[in-house]
């Protein structure tokens, strides 16, 4: 005998309320990591179409200028630095900062370090970000510019993943010893990469912002406050929801099992120590944080720590401290968020 139940309208109202609250809770909990990771999918079997443009010997290392195809269109301007010998070599991907007016606002930033590390047994891949590649035209309008930058960051992460493909496809490469070094803008993309690209076992992320939405809405710096006022809260919230794949905060909690070294300047007004320590807490173990008496460009002490940390993690040959000191400095530029 079937039992018959009669529900009052209040019961259905209750169910609707519960469903609405659950949906609201799900929306506020943020995007799912598994869905965000798929934003950086690409065809790993597609040809790289490597084109060598120039090769030269420099300070005992082989420096090759080349390009390879980006899965999102165009070519990636690249410098490949190879050690003497036949390997197997560790591999390092370098990502430059985007400081306005800096002569190192491109892949030249880490060339000196890459040549230094070549003598210790590391092959390095240095690429130009999409915003400094030939033909890039910035969008007019601040919000349109942010959207363009988000798409460029997605391309940069995917291009770095293709860079891993390029390195490990070489007969002289050791795919078990890979690292990434990124400064400022490319510390940001490196934070995303730490959650996406699990072939990389070590990350050095320098002077980066790793929680964009929080940074924009919590900052009391006049230029950020004025930016919020010009754009408006709702358009900004909508942007961060639609382009959540460009906010490292959704990825850095998945950085394990890679080791992460965060480097910050004590005099960097854009990323004060309290904020830097907050970011450090968001990464997973194993991790390390270091501060230096420096601004956004950091300093020779940071370079020495970075090089020695890479040598340890990648099992490189010992590196002469005096050789590290001879690498040219970036110089301190006007502090701006790049």
- DSSP-assigned states of every residue in 120-167: TTEEEEEE--GGGSTT--PPSSHHHHHHHHHHHHHHHHHHHHHHHHHH
Higher pLDDT, 32 or 337: 32
Span 118-141, pLDDT tens digits: 999 999 999 999 999 999 999 999
Sheet holding 202-206, edge to edge: 51-58, 61-69, 75-82, 122-127, 89-95, 173-183, 202-206, 259-265, 287-292
Q: CB under 8 Å to 283, separation ≥6 — which residues? A: 194, 210, 252, 253, 255, 260, 262
Q: Above 90 in pLDDT, residue 42? A: yes
Give the residue-averaged pLDDT of 21-26: 44
pLDDT at 224: 93
pLDDT band at 23 (very low <50, low <70, confident <90, very high): very low
Which pLDDT does position 19 carry in this prediction? Answer: 44
* pLDDT tops 90 at residue 336: no
Is the predicted pLDDT of residue 293 greater than 90, yes or no? yes
Mean residue pLDDT of the chain comes to 90
Q: CA–CA separation, 287 vs 71, rounded Å?
A: 31
pLDDT of residue 8: 47
Q: Which two tokens stand for residue 27?
A: 């929306």
d(CA 51, CA 80): 12
Tens of pLDDT, residues 100-124: 888 889 999 999 999 999 999 999 9
User: Could you tell me the pLDDT band of residue 329, with boundaries at 50, 70 and 90?
Assistant: confident
What is the percent of the chain with per-residue pLDDT over 70, rounded to a whole number? 89
* Domains of the chain as residue ranges with CATH: 36-325 (3.40.50.1820)
In sequence order, what E strands does the chain have?
51-58, 61-69, 75-82, 89-95, 122-127, 173-183, 202-206, 259-265, 287-292
Query: Among the listed ranges 59-73, 199-213, 321-335, which one has the minimum average pLDDT value?
Result: 321-335
Residue 338: is its pLDDT beyond 90? Answer: no
Per residue in 245-266, pLDDT tens? 999 999 999 999 999 999 999 9
- Please report, in angstroms and rounded to a whole number, the separation of the first and last CA atoms in the chain: 72
pLDDT of residue 29: 56
**Residue 20 confidence (pLDDT):** 44
């Amino acid at each position: 005998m079937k039992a018959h139940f009669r529900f009052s309208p209040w019961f259905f109202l209750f169910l609707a309320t519960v469903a609405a609250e659950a949906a609201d809770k799900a929306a506020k909990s943020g995007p799912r990591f598994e869905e965000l990771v798929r934003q950086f999918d690409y065809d790993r079997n597609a040809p790289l179409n490597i084109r060598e443009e120039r090769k030269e010997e420099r300070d005992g290392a082989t420096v090759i200028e080349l390009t390879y195809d980006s899965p999102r269109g165009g070519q990636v301007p690249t410098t490949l630095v190879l050690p003497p010998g036949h390997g197997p070599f560790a591999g390092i991907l370098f990502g430059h900062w985007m400081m306005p007016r800096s002569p190192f606002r491109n892949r030249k930033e880490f060339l000196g370090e890459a040549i230094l590390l070549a003598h210790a047994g590391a092959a390095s891949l240095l690429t130009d970000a999409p915003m400094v590649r030939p033909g890039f035209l910035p969008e007019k309008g601040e919000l349109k510019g942010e959207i363009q930058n988000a798409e460029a960051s997605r391309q940069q992460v995917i291009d770095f993943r293709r860079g891993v493909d390029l390195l490990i496809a070489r007969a002289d490469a050791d795919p078990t010893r890979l690292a990434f070094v990124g400064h400022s803008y490319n510390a940001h993309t490196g934070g995303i990469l730490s959650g996406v690209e699990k072939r990389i076992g070590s990350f050095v992320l320098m002077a980066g912002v790793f929680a964009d939405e929080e940074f924009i809405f919590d900052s009391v710096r006049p230029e950020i406050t004025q930016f919020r006022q010009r754009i408006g809260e709702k358009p900004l919230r909508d942007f961060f929801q639609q382009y959540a794949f460009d906010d490292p905060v959704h990825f850095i909690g998945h950085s394990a099992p890679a080791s992460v070294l965060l480097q910050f300047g004590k005099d960097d007004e854009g990323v004060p120590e309290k904020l830097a320590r907050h970011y450090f807490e968001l990464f997973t173990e194993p991790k390390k944080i270091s501060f230096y008496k420096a601004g956004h460009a950091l300093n020779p002490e940071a370079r020495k720590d970075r090089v020695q940390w890479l040598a340890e993690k990648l099992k490189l040959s010992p590196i002469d401290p005096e050789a590290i000191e001879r690498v040219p400095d970036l110089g301190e530029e006007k502090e701006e968020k790049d």
